[in-house]
Amino acid sequence: MVNSVNNNQIQRLGNLQDALKRQQSIAVTPGTPSFKDLLETKVAQADSGIKFSGHAEKRLQSRDIEFTAEHMQRLGAALDKARAKGAQETLMVFEKFSLIVSVKNNTVITAVDNTAMKDNVFTNIDSAVFA
């Protein structure tokens, strides 16, 4: 009985050591937002009532667009300005990227980085805001 307990403990210790080695070998890619940054952005999203479509989230991720809590605050202010002017679908222009936003639905529809904006035509928008 004592041997089986010791063997089980040794096996668990080996599993823990393997897990620790795997965890230490995971490298953080430079430019990848930290968990803290992601959490702050999601909290700001929830507080503002602004939603991101699945398409917009994929575009942000695939185009490596870093969207911070500060961007979220600026987006909220830009949405308020657009709404006050009666906008329905607007292009929100930031320094390194732009968003197409449904003002009436408080929803970001898509995201485009600056390199993709060149030679691009935006249709079905009625306004633009420099956020």
Write the CB contacts of 67 (distance below 8 Å, at least 6 apart in sequence). 41, 60, 111
Q: Which of 5-14, 27-36, 57-66, 90-99 shows the highest mean pLDDT?
A: 90-99
Domain that holds residue 85: 2-130
- Alpha-carbon separation of residue 125 from 28, 36, 51, 113, 120 (angstroms): 38, 34, 18, 18, 14
CB atoms within 10 A of CB 106: 15
pLDDT single digits (tens) 53-109: 999 999 999 998 988 889 988 999 999 999 999 999 999 999 999 999 999 999 999
- Specify the pLDDT at position 118: 80
Asked if residue 100 lies in contact with residue 125, where contact means CB atoms within 8 angstroms, the answer is yes
What is the number of structural domains in the chain? 1
pTM confidence score: 0.64
Write the CB contacts of 44 (distance below 8 Å, at least 6 apart in sequence). 69, 72, 73
Residue bearing the bigger pLDDT, 28 or 95: 95
> CA Rg, the chain, in Å?
22
Asked if residue 65 lies in contact with residue 59, where contact means CB atoms within 8 angstroms, the answer is yes
